[in-house]
Amino acid sequence: MTVAGRTALVTGGSRGIGRAIVESLARGGARVAFVYNSNSAAAEAVAAALQAEGHEVWAIQADVRSKPAADKVVADVVEKWGRLDILVNNAGIIRDGLLAMMDAQQWQDVIDTNLTSVFNFCQAVTRQMMSQRYGRIINMSSVAADVSNPGQANYAASKGGVEGFTRCIATELARRGVTANAVAPGFIETDMTVAVVNAAGDEIKKKIPVRRLGRPEDIAGAVMFFAADESSYVTGQVLKVDGGLTLGGL
């Protein structure tokens, strides 16, 4: 599976799953731009480490919730490298809380970051990818879109929205050589999940058939499959990468 010579853009690329995706794409031969929100030190560390290995990597600060910001990021990448072949919408947050106590800001923050940002960047890349007659869009979902977890109404809604959105744009873009797929991680060891893992790590592992938590590299491998030239006949799909967690439910 190859991404050599391709140009990629990853949102939320400075840590966790996003960092693993950036590293995999760069080491696979792609030129990679990635968006980060506020942690410039982490972003610069990722870019510097990969640049030291000889890869073309560019860290861009932007608010993924902003449509004008997304448009500018995409325009800047195309101006710099001449094309944009791969988009990975990975930026995401959690703001858990039971419905009775969830405030409007908790809801809106999650929807804007996890779902609206996907619209922002997908729309921004569409014309470029259609004109190239080549593109790979990979959106990050979650098993939470299918499995009911108390306290995650906002998160589940955002990820369910991502999956429906992905299937819809897949049908719109297929004739122009652009695929759109989603990856749905289970429990992955990242900064975002550390509180959950610390509270119930052993119990969670018992519910996962492979008996371990996922690693960011596990998700990056799935993204690489969808990003590769060879996946041109796969579109509108959601790939669960959860160690078998959803086979028997929670």
Give per-10-residue mean pLDDT for the chain (250 aa).
95 96 98 96 97 98 98 98 98 95 97 98 98 98 91 97 98 98 93 63 81 94 98 98 81
Looking at residue 193, what is its pLDDT? 64
**Could you tell me if residue 87 is inside a domain?**
yes
Q: Does residue 179 contact residue 190 with C-beta atoms inside 8 Å?
A: no
Looking at residue 1, what is its pLDDT? 79
Query: Distances in Å between the alpha carbon of 196 and those of 54, 63, 69, 189?
Result: 37, 26, 32, 10
**Could you tell me if residue 45 is inside a domain?**
yes
CA–CA separation, 204 and 22 (whole Å): 28
Q: Is the dihedral of CA 27, 73, 166, 216 positive or negative?
A: positive
**Could you tell me if residue 90 is inside a domain?**
yes
Determine whether 134 is an active site residue. no
Looking at residue 94, what is its pLDDT? 93
Which CATH number belongs to the domain containing residue 163 in this structure?
Answer: 3.40.50.720
**Could you tell me if residue 133 is inside a domain?**
yes
**Could you tell me if residue 248 is inside a domain?**
no
CA–CA separation, 37 and 62 (whole Å): 6
CA–CA separation, 213 and 224 (whole Å): 20
- Candidates 144, 140, 126, 156; CA nearest to 223 is 140
**Could you tell me if residue 250 is inside a domain?**
no
pTM: 0.94
Looking at residue 82, what is its pLDDT? 97
Looking at residue 203, what is its pLDDT? 78
**Could you tell me if residue 62 is inside a domain?**
yes
Q: Does residue 212 contact residue 189 with C-beta atoms inside 8 Å?
A: no
**Could you tell me if residue 44 is inside a domain?**
yes
3-state helix, strand, coil in the chain (%, to 5): 55, 15, 30
Looking at residue 202, what is its pLDDT? 73
187, amino acid identity? F
Range of the domain at 153: 7-241
Number of domains comprising the chain: 1
CA–CA separation, 144 and 151 (whole Å): 11
